[in-house]
Structure 1
Amino acid sequence: MQKLSIKTSTNQYQVMIGSGLRFRVSDFLTRSYSSILIVTDSNIEELYLHDVIAGLSTFTNINYTVVPAGEGSKNSRVYFDIMTEAIQSGLDRDGLIIALGGGMIGDLAGFVAATFMRGIDFIQMPTTILAHDSSVGGKVAINHPEGKNLIGSFYPPQAVIYDLDTLQTLPLTEMRSGYAEIAKHSMIHQPSFWQDISKVKIRLPLNEDQLMQDLLRGIEVKAAIVEQDERESNIRQYLNFGHTLGHALEAELGYGRITHGEAVALGMLFAIKVSEHVFNCSLPYTEFKEWLKDNHYPISLPALSKQHLLTRMKRDKKAKKQTIQFVLLKELGQPTIEHIEDQHMLVWLEEFFRELVSF
């Protein structure tokens, strides 16, 4: 088992990564809880829920709730339903919520924990590669029809328990989604390790040693940034590389049409193209595009209104005074934040989507 310590201005917690950890959850709890509510989804329930319950054998008051799998469940109705179940199950301020699932479950259950009785403890138990990013850093949220993660908070977990065994049942779609975020970390880190990630072939079965190494590097990048800027007032915004267009694509297509990581991958490709325009630099645009193609990321999209995408980007949490703030690269490993004018953005969007059609 590998351990990483995350220390921020408001909390310190451990990230544990290894095999079989779902059977040992009690070993990682630092206090006794009056009751536990496990929040999971319909895919994970059959696979791992009862393993986790078995790993909590020292606790007697354990309840669980299951939401439909997919990003569509990260909404106000499901959030309120979980709140009702928490109240009816007898969860109180000395209780614990366990988020068992991918990034959607982590965000949703974390937001429930942040707001239930003004905040109770929760633990992240990610079951996807993508969640190596979302489970670390304390950002929790639900979506609004007008945009992704617009209703949320900063609320760090008490621990992250990452059982690598749960990744062996991932479909290739989810593997691609997760590796997009690892690729993001590889490009914004100094020194960049994109050349290592560019050699990854996303195939089944997973190479556990390779995966452990890539996950650790990704988490270390995020941890280092979060420790310096917990509430996204400065360099934490670099972690949004690829997310401005990515979030707009998710909302415009309808949540769940493509995965978060697949949308971010396209957003990163676009951000690289914009970076080359703004800084007149040479970045691995073609190389990254070929990597996406070789690993079967969805490149072809239905016709989308560029004006609608622009409007959604201007509603993004990072936008200021209705001006898009875009994370760009001066070169690999050197992210920066730039204001992009609407007229330039529309021209570059049009150019970018024309290239996707011909790719």
Structure 2
Amino acid sequence: MSPPAVHVALSEGRSYAVHFEPLATAPMHLREAGVTGPRALVVTDETVGPLWLDALADALRADGWQVEATAVPAGEGSKSLGQLGALHDWALALGIDRATPVLALGGGVVGDLAGFAAATLLRGLPLVHLPTTTIAQVDSAIGGKTGINHATGKNLVGAFHQPLLVLADPATLGTLPDRAFQSGLAEAVKHALISDPALADRLDREWDALVGRDPDVVASVVRDAAAVKAAVVEADELEAGERAVLNFGHTFGHALEREAGYGTLTHGEAVAFGMRAALHLSASLRQGAVADGLGPFQAADRLVARVAPAPPALDPDRLTEAMATDKKRTAQGLRFVVLDTVGEPRLADDVPPAMVEAAWRFALESGA
């Protein structure tokens, strides 16, 4: 039995559903969401396409849709201006109109890229997310963030463009390599730490069943982690305030991704390291000085460490410099998301440099 849908309620009566059902149900949910054809643009990648595109296309064609599909190279490198332009050229050559939906079939890279194409084609096309990775199902497919990378930093060119529908088929997670599946759980851990202590306890208790891909446990955890994201998005659609708590671990993590080279670490692995650093920073700020240990955040760190591989050999000073281009930087400087306790996040400005340096050292010198 599929978990119940999560509903994202936005301002001005807008809303959309996140379903956890097979891809074959896509035509039914498209009708429910008011997405009309007869043509659909499916954007996938060269890894996901051979696995899941036929099942989706067959279901759509059986319902009368005309399916146009394209696959981009798999990996973070596709979040580029060149790939965005290629999608623009492909879509416009097909003679699309403003009712033509873009269906993003894949992980976070496909969702970000196809979502940004949908946001910019004809000043906005209907967008449907069909996430096939752990990280996309619990996080990136929900909330309307789209974009590409720039040489200066990650996700610096983009737009908010909410989907009309998210259909997350838990079965698609069964084809993920272990590294991709487990690193994607970093976002589920993050959601638990910032908002749901009960989910954090459950993740700890059921971790073996989760990484063993017990279908019921996977579907339930994905659904509950997605519900945290949905609730935060409802409260702050455009990241004007409260939604910033979703960046827990990301200020550190994005710097790691950039310095290690995009694709060296998965996004989830980088976020996991970032959360370990953020937990140390939380402990330091809690006691008002550089912390010798993690204090009340030891259990949280043990959970995060489950999704963090061996630390990369990187220079903390260069990582601190890389933070300077983070898009979450304010006029006053870097802003960090820290925890007062598990489930109670807050934003921290004017953080002493010594605390940041100590947080980096902890994350890079601690074994997984």
When normalised by structure 1's length, the TM-score is 0.92
The Cα offsets for residues 155-191 of structure 1, whole Å up to 9 and x where unpaired, read as 1001001111111111111112221000001111154
Which amino acid letter does the alignment assign opposite residue 28 of structure 2?
D
Residue of structure 2 in register with 1:318 after alignment: 328
For the 8 Å contact 1:5–1:15, the answer to whether it is kept is: yes
Residue of structure 2 in register with 1:330 after alignment: 340
- Fraction of identical pairs, as percent: 36
- Partner Cα separation in structure 2 for residue 346 and residue 271 of structure 1: 9
Shift of the alpha carbon at 1:70? Answer: 0.9
The Cα offsets for residues 92-123 of structure 1, whole Å up to 9 and x where unpaired, read as 21201000001111111000000001001010
Q: Which residue among 297, 315, 325 is the counterpart of 1:284?
A: 297
Structure 1 unaligned spans of 5+: none
* Alignment: residue pair count: 353
- Partner Cα separation in structure 1 for residue 307 and residue 361 of structure 2: 22
Which amino acid letter does the alignment assign opposite residue 316 of structure 1?
D
Shift of the alpha carbon at 1:135? Answer: 0.5
The Cα offsets for residues 188-229 of structure 1, whole Å up to 9 and x where unpaired, read as 115453222123137764111111221121111111111111
Residue of structure 1 in register with 2:53 after alignment: 49
- Partner Cα separation in structure 2 for residue 181 and residue 60 of structure 1: 34
Residue of structure 2 in register with 1:71 after alignment: 76
- Partner Cα separation in structure 1 for residue 38 and residue 327 of structure 2: 36
For the 8 Å contact 1:41–1:105, the answer to whether it is kept is: yes
- Partner Cα separation in structure 1 for residue 250 and residue 209 of structure 2: 22
- Partner Cα separation in structure 2 for residue 321 and residue 55 of structure 1: 50
Q: Which residue among 302, 313, 317 is the counterpart of 2:313?
A: 302
For the 8 Å contact 1:123–1:160, the answer to whether it is kept is: yes
- Partner Cα separation in structure 1 for residue 186 and residue 214 of structure 2: 17
- Partner Cα separation in structure 2 for residue 345 and residue 313 of structure 1: 14
Cα distance 1:292–1:7, how it changes in 2: closer, same or farther (>3 A)?
Answer: closer
Structure 2 unaligned spans of 5+: 288-293
Residue of structure 2 in register with 1:28 after alignment: 29
1:244 correspondence with 2:251: yes
SS at match of 1:319: coil
Which amino acid letter does the alignment assign opposite residue 26 of structure 1?
P
For the 8 Å contact 1:95–1:121, the answer to whether it is kept is: yes
1:343 correspondence with 2:348: no
Residue of structure 1 in register with 2:232 after alignment: 225
CA RMSD of aligned residues (A): 2.0
- Partner Cα separation in structure 2 for residue 166 and residue 350 of structure 1: 35
Q: Which residue among 101, 105, 115 is the counterpart of 1:100?
A: 105
Cα distance 1:236–1:60, how it changes in 2: closer, same or farther (>3 A)?
Answer: closer
- Partner Cα separation in structure 1 for residue 281 and residue 307 of structure 2: 23
1:168 correspondence with 2:174: yes
- Partner Cα separation in structure 1 for residue 259 and residue 268 of structure 2: 15
When normalised by structure 2's length, the TM-score is 0.90
Shift of the alpha carbon at 1:134? Answer: 0.4
Shift of the alpha carbon at 1:312? Answer: 2.4
Shift of the alpha carbon at 1:41? Answer: 0.6
Shift of the alpha carbon at 1:48? Answer: 0.4
